[in-house]
Structure 1
């Protein structure tokens, strides 16, 4: 039963947002500091979700009583036209999609695709990056990650024109409705800025994906890419819509997570020269002048630690709301049925109760022994529990290939003021307009 802990604080979050309207992430950080790991409510007008940041509370929601906390309501409902009713939903359709998709993302299966991915990434780096000329970081990273993922998932038959159409459509899909994150109580029938752009993006994605599904069905025994495998999967409802929903959800999550995280790499390296020097030295020692192959990846141990720390401070999936099906108790606090409980890796990863020097970027905290001593749910950049992301191995493999592939050729020179403040969209992004120049190795 509840005790005195049921007297829960309400933090006026909209007031914080108004105070930090130019940098909303500061409002989020302020609330996290004020909560101090305790459960609080966020005052957002008529909407007052619970914020749970302590690892014990995270474990309760994502593991201990996970079936009671579903992916509905805040954040999820506005994205249903994009992500559909499959792997990123809940209930029977999610369970079926998970059973079908998870075997395709095991380390064993992905390792069979690793050689192909390394060749694709190497080619795209050469095709995309021009040394000595400033370029937009996010655009360049997307121009590598997106085609690599599309070619791996949708097969070689997709045209370059369709690849070029998908990238901006996915980008719009995950950013256009950011305002609904702050105004989740506004019904869909009330239009908000970004809604029209979002709907146009959905149409573009569908115009590309549905023909690819029809092609895969017509050539069922010829291709081994993901969409072809989904077309052959034993769905209860074998229609094109189920394949579309899972294809778009997996592809969108893979490209968005990788592109967002890899955009953060360059301002972080720029802000920490000593850490950057260690990354450069390891790539030069292990890879040399390239090309990077999957055989190099096990020896890029510091780069892996760097990426783990990058995902701690800048997790692309910064918010994980859940809706309660039945009343529950978290940390002695009664949670009513139908309530929204918000988890935030961004805040949990910065709790001083868990992390020493939480605001400092330090890859050494992910050395094997240090990682073993941490609470399991203190770090969850790919979510956790039954709904954990299926793609961490793919992300790490692709991220190491891209970073090492670039650094084996070039040294980055960032053109941006410090500090770099994150943007809160559906994912955690650096500010728009970051640019940098690449200098060939040996002339830095």
Structure 2
């Protein structure tokens, strides 16, 4: 109970204090009517996320309010067989190359527009600008050309509001029924309605037109399960929105936090710039460049380790179990926290030090030490998109500009469904003179 006050005042700081006290051991938190288990050690995570994954279900707590936005996120979603087929096709080798080509063109266009808007001596809000670039990039993959740029920008506003309006209250008080209003619920519900108003017409139009495109909406409409059954408009809507959330939120946050890391680590910044200049030069970044952007990928991985955008993911325990001698009771909530796992001194030497070399190709670690995208069979589908879009966006931006951080104090994270910068991240785009 001594942690409850700090959790309410500053959830992330209070949570980090709990993690330090636990130090990788399994603990059960006493927060009044809510008493979750906290599991952070990689050995224990392997049991939960892989070895006995069916016993730890994506139900309750975060998943309950999230379902109002993305649809059924549980492990018993009847439309999942169709969604899985679409995602597997989408993330296969040939499709990835096609997606990357589409991303390249959209990113270049978005950065061109950013260059036109940004005055040389006036800072821009990195979070807002990265939101615009990332959303435009992903939405083309999901719905093709069935949506205008103004609608994409509107979608960005809707999503940012939806994922920040009520999740703190709902996640800290998961025992409160949805029928009882909490702060932020009204704004969240309005955003869900706005999302429906944008996406459902696109789905219906695609179905009327025969769904012949290569976008996700068309693929989901055409897909069938093993019994030949398709899915209805709601399942298509939920699949698109779910993939959109998975493919954007982490990328936007990572591409906002990294400017603070680069500003405070000039050696890392210099090495990143050197790689971009060597690999990209004056070319337009493309899929063919990605395998050569080794340090860029290491940097992005370290940003996600340090800031752990998906800071907490809960599970509901289906049946009694034992992990490392500790009995886990059925019906209880189990909390996984990449934020805490990525700070365990016994797993990550000097965890508070920002060091992309942790992810050098010759380094090894426990396969569940790094859980920025989860692990096991339920690993986040946004992982593949992240390692396509994030390096391409960063390479496109840094091949034209040397961004200069304008904030005078370190960028602190804020707790929502994911971690986001607490204050605007202001960067000035200084053009490269070639």
Query: Scaled by the length of structure 2, what TM-score is found?
Result: 0.95
The reply to whether residue 78 of structure 1 matches residue 65 of structure 2 is yes
Contact 1:136/1:434 (<8 A) preserved: yes
Distance in structure 2 (CA, Å) of the matches to 1:260 and 1:220 = 36
The reply to whether residue 168 of structure 1 matches residue 154 of structure 2 is no
The reply to whether residue 89 of structure 1 matches residue 74 of structure 2 is yes
Contact 2:33/2:175 (<8 A) preserved: yes
How far did 1:131 drift?
4.5
How far did 1:108 drift?
3.4
1:31 corresponds to which residue? 18
Contact 1:36/1:351 (<8 A) preserved: yes
How far did 1:237 drift?
5.5
1:113 corresponds to which residue? 99
Residues 194-213 of structure 1 show CA distances to partners (whole Å, capped at 9, x for unaligned) of: 10000000011100100100
2:56 corresponds to which residue? 69
Distance in structure 2 (CA, Å) of the matches to 1:270 and 1:28 = 27
Distance in structure 1 (CA, Å) of the matches to 2:431 and 2:202 = 39
Distance in structure 1 (CA, Å) of the matches to 2:98 and 2:412 = 38
**Of 223, 234, 238, the match for 2:224:** 234
How far did 1:419 drift?
2.6
How far did 1:297 drift?
1.4
- Count the aligned residue pairs: 426
5+ long unaligned stretches in structure 2:
none
How far did 1:379 drift?
0.6
1:159 corresponds to which residue? 148
Distance in structure 1 (CA, Å) of the matches to 2:271 and 2:14 = 34
- Could you say what the CA RMSD is over the residues aligned between the two structures, in angstroms? 1.6
SS of aligned partner of 2:412: coil
Residues 277-305 of structure 1 show CA distances to partners (whole Å, capped at 9, x for unaligned) of: 10011111111133212222111111011
Distance in structure 1 (CA, Å) of the matches to 2:12 and 2:37 = 18
- Runs of 4+ in structure 1 off by over 6 angstroms are none
Distance in structure 1 (CA, Å) of the matches to 2:49 and 2:270 = 38
The reply to whether residue 396 of structure 1 matches residue 387 of structure 2 is yes
Distance in structure 1 (CA, Å) of the matches to 2:269 and 2:99 = 29
Contact 1:128/1:143 (<8 A) preserved: no
**Of 243, 249, 252, the match for 1:259:** 252
SS of aligned partner of 2:141: helix
How far did 1:79 drift?
1.3
Distance in structure 2 (CA, Å) of the matches to 1:378 and 1:432 = 29
Contact 1:131/1:440 (<8 A) preserved: no
Aligned ranges 1:194-343 → 2 under 5 Å = 194-234=184-224, 236=229, 238-343=231-336
Query: Scaled by the length of structure 1, what TM-score is found?
Result: 0.92
How far did 1:113 drift?
2.0
Contact 1:12/1:42 (<8 A) preserved: no
Change (3 A) 1:139 1:410: same
Distance in structure 2 (CA, Å) of the matches to 1:248 and 1:104 = 15
1:427 corresponds to which residue? 418
Deviates more, 1:122-131 or 1:404-413: 122-131
Contact 2:28/2:36 (<8 A) preserved: yes
Distance in structure 2 (CA, Å) of the matches to 1:126 and 1:354 = 42
Contact 2:59/2:315 (<8 A) preserved: yes
The reply to whether residue 409 of structure 1 matches residue 394 of structure 2 is no
How far did 1:51 drift?
0.5
SS of aligned partner of 2:68: helix
Aligned ranges 1:118-129 → 2 under 5 Å = 118-129=104-115
Distance in structure 1 (CA, Å) of the matches to 2:220 and 2:332 = 35
1:363 corresponds to which residue? 356
